[in-house]
């Protein structure tokens, strides 16, 4: 049988079969562009979030950094506490035995360590404690103060435990105070001097030298006065505000790398360098103006010339001031408060005015006495003598009071280069008890800069150091 071919006609009435092929996706114009932009934005947002998250975790101020810092601070607190407990225990033990001696390095090390070897301790008076595991150093002062990375003075020199060679008094430090204004103006309200003073300031050729330590910080000063011209102080204002004025000038030099601030050099700074002790030196002992002597002043009736008494060798001495105090007797207390006592109006009466103590002393650095020809102090051949005592006269930010047979004087201390070629640590009077003023101005200014306890110093040749 012949099979007939079945023909499906095209067009109307044709048999439609289901099309199982996938239907092509139809896109609207612009739809693909929107999708790509959304994708890019999403990626960018994710990257930003990832960056923020990473920064929060591992950044300089991130979670991990703060965790490490927190751990470090906890360890430091624990290390300080161990030192404090050991130091306090030793101090209490000494006080119980009426022992006023310093706590030594070996006994503090043994007290901290017990049966361990956690720390090593060095020093003479003030001490340096090193924790061997953490590598941290602490200065321990004899008053119990503990300073991380602090500086102390030992017989070998100045150290914070980290410098390989102790720093010596007089060593040079490569300190740069930064930009300094060219001049400063000082008026009468600041100095007591009638004329306005325009003081030019130096910032070139200043050698900065080490003069000691204070509260764990390294102290440096200049080998030259920083003022081109001298600063005049006078009278009551010079006495009460002079130190503030000196500190104002000095403070301009305390903003350099590694500095924590600055102030005027003081007589205590000089004495720490020279080794002079006014309590044991007893300048002018046996004289009415001897250091530490207390004078009691009186009005005797209507006299313009007050009388006084004091003790010499346990015996009472008396005298009458040679200068008139017709306008009253004037004096200052330790808080710069001015007092006045007017003379009596009744001839038969007697009235105590006040008690005043002499704090004046002077000495030569090469002798540590009032005789410039003696030896026993700092040799004139040394670098420290050249830099501190042979390069001009300057104010010291320290007060002194001085009673003699004429009046009682109030002033500031100074380093004075004399015409004879010698130099002395002296005094400069500004105001007298009979209400007369004195003007002094042949003196410059020297700042003392505090270097931070955590600075790193690198030796750069003999007796020279650089701040890293």
Distance CA 180, CA 169 (A): 26
Q: How many domains does the chain have?
A: 3
The phi, psi pair for 200, rounded to 5°, reads -80, 140
Give the residue from 462, 461, 463, 453 showing the smallest Cα distance to 162: 453
In this structure, the answer to whether residues 202 and 271 fall within a common structural domain is yes
Ramachandran angles phi, psi of 400, nearest 5°? -150, 150
Same domain, 242 and 352: no
Q: Distance of CA 274 to CAs 35, 40, 277, Å? A: 83, 75, 9
- Residue 256 and residue 250 in contact, taking contact as beta carbons nearer than 8 Å: no
Q: What is the CB neighbour count within 10 angstroms for residue 268?
A: 14
Does residue 366 sit in helix, strand or coil? Answer: coil
- Reference 272, options 164, 185, 365; nearest CA is 365
Q: How many CB atoms lie within 10 A of CB 90?
A: 18
Going residue by residue through the chain, which has 468 residues, state the pLDDT in tens, using 9 for 90 and above: 444 444 444 444 444 444 555 555 554 454 555 688 888 888 888 888 877 777 666 666 666 677 777 888 898 899 999 999 999 999 999 999 999 999 999 999 999 998 888 899 988 889 999 999 888 889 999 999 998 888 998 888 999 888 889 999 999 999 999 999 999 999 999 999 999 999 999 998 899 999 999 989 999 999 999 999 999 999 999 999 999 999 999 999 999 999 999 999 999 999 999 999 999 999 999 999 999 999 999 999 999 999 999 988 889 999 999 999 999 999 999 899 999 999 999 999 999 999 999 999 999 999 999 998 888 899 988 989 999 998 889 999 999 999 988 999 999 999 998 755 688 999 999 999 999 999 887 799 999 999 998 888 999 988 899 998
How is residue 372 annotated by DSSP? Answer: T
320 with 399, same domain: the answer is: no
Longest dimension (CA), the chain: 174
Final residue of a structural domain among 148, 183, 200: 148
Element spanning 58, H or E:
helix 31-58
Range of the domain at 277: 173-281+361-467
Q: How far apart are CA 207 and CA 176, in angstroms?
A: 10
Strands (E), 276-349: 294-300, 307-312, 315-320, 329-332, 338-341
pLDDT digits (tens, 9 = 90+) for 33-63: 568 888 888 888 888 887 777 766 666 666 6
Residues contacting residue 71 through CB under 8 Å, at least 6 positions apart: none
Claim to verify: residue 419 and residue 398 sit in the same structural domain: yes
- Three-state SS for 69? helix
- C-alpha torsion angle, residues 159, 163, 169, 170 (rounded to 10): -160
Contact 364, 423 (CB under 8 A): yes
Q: Are residues 123 and 260 in the same domain?
A: no
Distance between the two ends of the chain, CA-based, in angstroms? 113
Query: Among residues 111, 133, 148, which one ends one of the domains?
Result: 148
Q: Among 273, 276, 277, 248, which Cα is nearest to 263's?
A: 248
CA distance 158 to 419: 35
How far apart CA 330 and CA 321 sit, in angstroms, is 14
- What pLDDT shows up at residue 432? 96
Pick from 257, 276, 171, 165: nearest CA to 213: 171
The reply to whether 332 and 379 lie within a common domain is no
Which tokens is 293 given?
């002597």
Distance, CA of 404 to CA of 16 (rounded, Å): 137
Q: Cα–Cα distances in Å, from 11 out to 14, 16, 19, 110, 152?
A: 6, 10, 17, 113, 111
Q: Is residue 11 part of a domain?
A: no
Note whether 344 and 259 are same-domain residues. no
**If we measure between CA atoms, which residue out of 132, 166, 131 comes closest to residue 151?**
166
Same-domain status, 266 and 379 = yes
Indicate if 353 and 366 belong to the same structural domain: no
Structure tokens at 224: 């030259």
- My answer on whether 241 and 389 are in the same domain is yes
Last-in-domain residue among 131, 148, 165: 148
């Amino acid at each position: 049988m012949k099979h007939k071919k079945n023909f499906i006609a095209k067009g109307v009435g044709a048999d439609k079969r289901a099309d199982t092929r996938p239907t092509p996706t139809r896109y609207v114009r612009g739809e693909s562009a929107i999708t790509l932009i959304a994708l890019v934005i999403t990626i960018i947002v994710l990257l930003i979030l990832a960056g923020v998250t990473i920064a929060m975790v591992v950044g300089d101020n991130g979670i991990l950094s703060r965790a490490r810092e927190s751990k470090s601070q906890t360890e430091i607190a624990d290390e300080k506490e161990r030192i404090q407990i050991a130091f306090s225990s030793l101090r209490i033990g000494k006080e119980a035995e009426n022992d006023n001696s310093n706590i030594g390095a070996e006994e503090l090390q043994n007290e901290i360590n017990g049966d361990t070897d956690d720390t090593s301790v060095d020093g003479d008076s003030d001490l340096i404690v090193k924790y061997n595991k953490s590598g941290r150093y602490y200065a321990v002062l004899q008053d119990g103060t503990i300073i991380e990375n602090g500086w102390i003075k030992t017989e070998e020199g100045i150290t914070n435990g980290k410098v390989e060679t102790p720093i010596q008094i007089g060593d040079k430090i490569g300190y740069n105070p930064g930009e300094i204004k060219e001049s400063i103006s000082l008026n009468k309200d600041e100095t007591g001097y009638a004329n306005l003073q325009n003081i030019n300031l130096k910032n070139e050729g200043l050698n900065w030298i080490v003069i000691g330590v204070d509260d764990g910080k390294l102290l440096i000063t200049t080998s030259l006065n920083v003022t081109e011209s001298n600063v005049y102080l006078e009278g009551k204002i010079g006495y009460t505000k002079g130190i503030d004025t000196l500190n104002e000038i000095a403070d301009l030099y305390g903003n350099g790398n590694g500095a924590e601030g600055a102030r005027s050099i003081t007589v205590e700074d000089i004495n720490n360098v020279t080794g002079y002790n006014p309590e044991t030196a007893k300048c002018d002992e046996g004289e009415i103006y001897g250091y530490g002597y207390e004078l009691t002043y009186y009005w005797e009736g209507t006299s313009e010339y007050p009388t006084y008494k004091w003790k010499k060798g346990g015996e009472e001495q008396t005298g009458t001031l040679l200068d008139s105090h017709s306008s009253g007797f004037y004096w200052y207390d330790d808080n710069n408060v001015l007092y006045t006592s007017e003379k009596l109006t009744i001839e038969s009466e007697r009235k105590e005015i006040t008690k005043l103590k002499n704090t004046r002393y002077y000495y030569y650095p090469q002798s540590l006495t009032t005789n410039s020809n003696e030896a026993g102090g700092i040799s004139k051949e040394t670098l420290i003598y050249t830099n501190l005592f042979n390069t001009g006269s300057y104010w010291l930010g320290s007060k002194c009071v001085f009673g003699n047979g004429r009046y009682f004087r109030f002033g500031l201390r100074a380093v004075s280069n004399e015409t004879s070629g010698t130099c002395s640590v002296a005094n400069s009077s500004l105001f007298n008890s009979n209400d007369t003023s004195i003007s002094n101005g042949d003196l410059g200014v020297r700042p003392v800069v505090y270097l931070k306890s955590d600075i790193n110093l690198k030796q750069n040749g003999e007796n020279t150091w650089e701040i890293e």
